[in-house]
Amino acid sequence: MGSLTGRKALITGASRGIGRAIAEAFAREGCRLALVATAPERLVQTAARCQELSGGLDVDMFGLDVRDPKACDEVIKKVTEKLGGLDIVVNNAGVTRDNLLMRLSDDDYNAVLDTNLRGAFNITRAASRALMKSKAGRLINIASVVGITGNAGQANYAASKGGLIAFTKSVAKELAGRGVTANVIAPGFIETDMTAGLDPKVKDGALAGIRLGRFGKPEDIANAALFLAGDSGAYITAQVLVVDGGLTA
């Protein structure tokens, strides 16, 4: 029996990168999954792998733009009906549109805030009733170390992640009385599509600051999510777990 056997989780941004690694880690521990990305066909590979890892559990796939509150309500309704409840929600979907402040367009600002912060709000609000009904409700929001430190060229992204941290701490206080924990994971520099296209000079600079001497892997974040999602995380709430190899130490 896995540490998440019998639990039901929804993970956004599960088509690739960190979200996919979290989905696979949860599946390995016997969790029943509902996965979200912008289109269901983008989730086919993750879902097949999760089904294999879980020993054959069904995996549901939903195409959803987390920026759309109505669509979030509808998907959460379908998920809770189909799965018979919801115990764990991971708000992982996120985007970057980096630029220096003076060149940051309204579109770049809005796209990042709408996806990273409003998207997490849309999903969390829709799922809050189901989480409160669960005996072990867990909200896990994926922010970033730049939501704590700030970063030149990422004012929009840092604002969205700093907002997500404050949002999560507030939700933690609101839902604690119903036994729901709400925490943030703040990754440092993780090797995914999001960071693949960065200038080699930026990458070298980041690597030089990482005390453990390597970029993070999506699995490093998945391990932290697994810790918070299971019984191991039962007495942890309103916290920010930094997983950055010592980048911000």
Residues that bind ligand NAP in the complex, under the rule CB under 6 A: 12-19, 36-39, 42, 64-67, 92-95, 115, 119, 142, 144, 187, 189-190, 192-195
Counting Cα atoms < 13 Å in the Cβ hemisphere of 231 gives 6
d(C-alpha 42, C-alpha 207), whole Å: 30
Return the closest-CA partner of residue 211 out of 184, 248, 174, 165.
248
| 3 state DSSP class of 127 | helix
**29 vs 68 by CB, closer to ligand NAP:** 68
Least distance to ligand NAP, CB of residue 190, Å: 4
- Give the Cβ contact number of residue 201 at 10 Å: 8
Catalytic residues: 157
Least distance to ligand NAP, CB of residue 119, Å: 6
d(C-alpha 74, C-alpha 205), whole Å: 43
| 3 state DSSP class of 169 | helix
**35 vs 130 by CB, closer to ligand NAP:** 35
**31 vs 64 by CB, closer to ligand NAP:** 64
